Structure formats: C-alpha cells, structure tokens
Amino acid sequence: MLKKSLLILAILMISLSLVALAAHLVILEINDTHGHAWAYNEWHNPDIGGFAAIASVVNQVRAEAKANGWDVLFLHAGDVNTGVPESDLLNAKPDIEALNAMGLDAMAIGNHEFDHPWSVLMRQMTWANFPFLSANVVYKGTDETLGKPYIIKTFPDLKVAILGLTTKTTEYIGNPSYVKMYNFLSPIDTAKKYVPLLHTMMGKDGVVLALTHLGIFGKGLVAGSRVSDDPLTMRNLLTTNKPNDPYGGSVSLAESVKGITAILDGHSHTVVTEPLNVKGTLIIQAGSFSKYVARLDLIIKDGKVTDYTYKLIPINLKVYHKDKDGKVTYTYVGKEIKPDKNIQDLLAAYKQLGAKKLNEPIGFSKVNFSNAGEITRKGDSLIGHLITDAVAWKFKDQGVQAVLQNGGGIRASIAPGTITYRDVLTVLPFGNTVVLVKLKGSDLLKAIEWGAMPHANDTGARLNPWGLTYVVTPKGVKDIKIQGKPIDPNKVYLIATNDYMASGGDNYTMLKNGEQYNTNYVLADVVKEYIQHISPIESYPFKPRWKEEK
C-alpha cells in the first residue's frame, strides 16, 4: 500500500513539474494615446478612455496574475505625443508621469515622438522610468540607436525579449527639421539581425516579442478599422503588405521575419478584434486615444505558444440611446471601469496648469466645422477652408496667391457653440508655423499633382488648398488654376504653407526648391486670430475648391 502511495505521489510530482514548464504570459498593450491621458467626451460617448481607468485594468490583471503565478507585461506601442492641449503644452510630461506610476514596462518610439526637437525627446526619456525602444532609428553617421534596441525581461519561468521598431515612413512624415539627424533603417532588415541574436541570448525557453510602431494596412482599412483573422481580411492585408518592404507595416514584418512570437503594434490606430496570425506570428493593436486595452494571454512551453486567448477591453465606451420622449441613456460596452484614484489625482494636478488660458472663449459659431472620418485626408472640407482662409487673410497684404495645407495636419473638428483656444489647439496640435514660399509654377504644379491625388492609407498628404481649383481624375489632375487662371510653369508665385510641408514633409520635397521665409507665426494662433476677427460666425458657405471624378 505504501509503495502504491509513493508511486502515485511520484506521478503527481512529475505531472506538476511538467505543468510548471508551461508559462502563462499576460501582455497588456496600449498605443497611439496622443495625449489622451485624461478621460474625455466624444459625440454621444461621454467620459471615455483615460489612464486612470486603464490603470484600474492593469492593477486588476496584475492581481489576477499574482494569484495564479502568471507573468505580466504592460507595453505602449508608441505615439504618446500630440493631440490634447494639456499634454502638448507640457511636452507629454503628464502622460509619462502617469505611465511611470502605472508601471509601464516599455514604449516603442513612434513617429510622433519626433514632433519636437531632440532636446524635448531627450527630456521625455529622462522623465520616463521605462525604456523608449527602437532598434532601427540611429544617429546619422553612426550605429548608435536613439533609444534602446531591446530589453530582456526575466521571469521565474520565462525569458522575454522585447524588440522595438519604428516605421521607416517617419523619415518623410516626421517633421523634417527634427528627423534630419537620424537614419531610419529598414525595420525588417533590423529584425532579421536582432531576432536570431535574441534567441541565442535567451536559449530555447525564451520568446521574442516585437513592440512596433509600423501599422496594419490593407485594402479598405482606414484609421480606427476593426480587423480580425477571417480569410477575406487576411487576403486584403497580404495583398497590401508585401514581404521585405522596408516601408511596410507589421504584416510585412511577420511575412518576412521568422521567430517573432507576437507583434504588439501601433501607428494605424487599428482596432484588432482578433489577433492576426501571419505565419505563426500573432499581431495585435488597440485602436487609439486610450479607448482600449488589448490583452493577449500566451501559454508558452519550450519557447512555443501552445495556446492563447485575446480580449480587447473597451475603456468606458458607451452606446447612446434616446427614447421617444427624448430621454437619453447610455449602456456600457463591456463593464464600467472605475478610475484609479492615485492616477486620477496625479493627472488632475497637471490639468489645472494652463487651463484658464486654454478655456478662454475666442469666438462663437453656429457652423459645424467637421473633420468627421478624417475628411481632410480624403476630400474638400469646410474645416480645411477655415484654416487656409485664415492664412490667406493673415497674409493678404503680402500678396499670397495660394495656401497649401496637408490634411494630416488637421486633427479634429470645431463644433457649433463657444470656441476656445483649446479647441483650436486640438485641431492644430503640432505647433507649425506659417512659411511664405516664392515657388516656380512648375514646382507648384508638382505639389498640386502630388497632394491632389488620393494617398495610400490616407497618410495625410492630401492637399487642402486656398486660391486653387482643379479636378482629380483616375488618370491625374486637370484644369488646375490659381486665382482663376492657368498656372504658368515659368512664373514665380507666392504661396503660404506650414513649416512641415515647406521642409519637405509628406514628400512635398518640391517646395524646398523655392525661396522661403518663415514668418514664425504659429498656424494655430493665425486661426485663433481669424476666428476672433469673423466671430460670431452665423454662416460659412461651402464653395468647392476641387472635385474628384471617378
């Protein structure tokens, strides 16, 4: 009987030891928060997002993991900068301090981390108690990476390498004045170098994760799209994402590089409802603006994923209801998440800084200057007219003949009602200045032809003009006129644009051929002054400046 009991005990011990070989790793990911550290309101969706509620999710998961002996990582896939005035005015210090308090493990360097001079980025890295990761951004003329290329986290039952990668498109979508000191290497070539090295460093029980700011792009996908691993979605994604494309997204990376267990992605603001599985590599992304936390649970044995579960956690998103009597109610998408008080108090102190100036009324409008669906990246819009009209008004005495504004530089709408400086800064958060350019007609035609055509993935290069009219056709742009007259290729015209485009941003490199003068007037302040001048805005008739023929 004793021998039988000992045999049973031995079998149980062996079984337990085998079970212990399987590690349970929980990954929590956020991305593209863009200053949305505080809860905020959207149309028919009040009090959503924010780091305080996200902190509650993180705390709950960590407690669950501790009780079960699991491993946890909390990661940010880049673009902490640019989007909310309280954050922008303080160079994202509130966001970084909150992420410190939340115990963030690492953040990928996104393209919007280059919205500021080098000194600001260095200061942000100093503020952070977590590493900024990117293996493929190096200082020009050196092999020195801007951030750490990777980190290795050692848990009792698992080693995890986290490799950081930044989209190579930053070299032309980033502010040219700030990215010129870096080389943006191919993320795929960089991963091919590091992934085998990391596996060698960790041994057979380790796994490699890629924390990337590359994006998920496919036919029919736009920012905020929901994607899953259904065959149609995957076919569209694989059609768009070619292997070994240095400018490709995370699907291209997975197609090209073996040995990456999961890609935790950002950049395209994609709401991934089910992990994409590309050649055995799982890809996730959690939308944007702190609306979601992506949770990926991996069961790992001998360095291989034997099982996984995934959950996209909405951060207090709601469904709007209005009954026949006009009573409005909301129901939560998922569960209500109470904010963590410590994070809430930390952020509240920052929000008070400068709030008085930001909230001062500058005008009033009965008109909705909408950028719904990011229309400025796709079509002719009233808010595009407002911004370019403001520049034309400000510099009319200088004889400006045309204004060029990239659609991606317009980030929000101005709703009817009282308009504050905060509203303008939310629409134009980049701190761009107005530049006057004496430009030859031949270069102006190139700029119009480049900006007028649709751009893949609505990257932001779409032109929002003043003083120009034209027609976009499937074969190109026709009937181009400036001030009602055809453009003379040999004539020099005076145009106004922002310093981002004037420096060649969004591939407007032809603008650099002209003689330039930076007025040092901040574009947001020009628009603020114009709104003050024309308020109250009773109406703002829309007269199309260009049209598109299918």
The per-residue pLDDT for range 387-398, each reduced to its tens digit, is 999 999 999 999
Mean predicted lDDT score pLDDT of the chain: 93
Class of domain 361-548: alpha beta
The one-letter amino acid code at 430 reads F
Kindly report, as residue ranges, where domains of CATH 3.90.780.10 are found in the chain. 361-548
Residue 431 has pLDDT above 90, yes or no: no
What percentage of the chain exceeds 90 in pLDDT?
80
Rounded to whole angstroms, how far apart are CA atoms 259 and 332? Answer: 39
pLDDT of residue 7: 54
Mean pLDDT check: name the lowest of 230-239, 284-293, 338-347, 377-386: 230-239
- Look up tokens 């994006």; give the residue: 215
- Mean pLDDT in residue range 43-69: 96
pLDDT of residue 281: 97
Rounded to whole angstroms, how far apart are CA atoms 508 and 500? Answer: 9
pLDDT of residue 69: 96
The token duo for 384 is: 């595009």
Kindly report, as residue ranges, where domains of CATH 3.60.21.10 are found in the chain. 21-349
Q: How confident is the model at residue 146 (pLDDT cuts 50, 70, 90)?
A: very high
For residue 246, give the 3-state DSSP assignment.
Answer: coil
Q: How confident is the model at residue 84 (pLDDT cuts 50, 70, 90)?
A: confident
pLDDT of residue 229: 72
Q: HEC states along 346-415?
A: HHHHHHHCCHHHHCCEEEEECCCECCHHHHHHCCCCHHHHHHHHHHHHHCHHHCCCEEEEEHHHCCCCEC
Phi, psi torsion values for 520, nearest 5 degrees: 65, 10
The DSSP element (H or E) to which 212 belongs, if any, is strand 206-213
> Tens digits of per-residue pLDDT, 1-54?
555 555 555 454 544 444 457 999 999 999 999 999 999 998 789 999 999 999
pLDDT of residue 107: 98
Q: Which of 99, 160, 154, 159 is nearest to 125 (CA)?
A: 99
**In angstroms, what CA-CA distances link 125 with 51, 97, 152, 470?**
19, 11, 19, 45
Q: How confident is the model at residue 410 (pLDDT cuts 50, 70, 90)?
A: very high
Q: How confident is the model at residue 234 (pLDDT cuts 50, 70, 90)?
A: confident
For residue 482, give the 3-state DSSP assignment.
Answer: strand
The token duo for 149 is: 């290329």
- Mean pLDDT in residue range 217-240: 79
Class of domain 21-349: alpha beta
pLDDT of residue 326: 85
Strands (E), 49-189: 71-76, 106-108, 132-133, 137-139, 150-155, 158-166, 182-184
The DSSP element (H or E) to which 422 belongs, if any, is helix 421-427
pLDDT of residue 144: 98
Mean pLDDT check: name the lowest of 9-18, 132-141, 142-151, 429-438: 9-18
For residue 236, give the 3-state DSSP assignment.
Answer: helix
Q: How crowded is the C-beta side of 17, counted as CA atoms within 13 Å?
A: 6
Judge contact between 445 and 492, C-beta under 8 A.
no
| String of DSSP letters for 22-42 | EEEEEEEEE---TT--S-EEE
Return left, alpha or beta for 126; rule: phi > 0 is left, psi -120 to 50 is alpha, else beta. Answer: alpha
- Contacts by 37-41 with C-beta closer than 8 Å and gap 24+? 37/84, 37/87, 37/94, 37/95, 37/98, 37/290, 37/347, 38/84, 38/86, 38/347, 38/351, 39/316, 39/339, 40/84, 40/289
pLDDT of residue 19: 47
pLDDT of residue 16: 45
Taking the C-alpha atoms of 85, 90, 96 and 100 in order, what is their torsion angle to the nearest 10 degrees? Answer: -120
- Mean pLDDT in residue range 115-128: 96
Judge contact between 320 and 41, C-beta under 8 A.
no
Phi, psi torsion values for 201, nearest 5 degrees: -65, -35
What size, in residues, is the chain?
550
> Tens digits of per-residue pLDDT, 154-203?
999 999 999 999 999 999 888 888 999 999 999 999 999 999 999 999 99
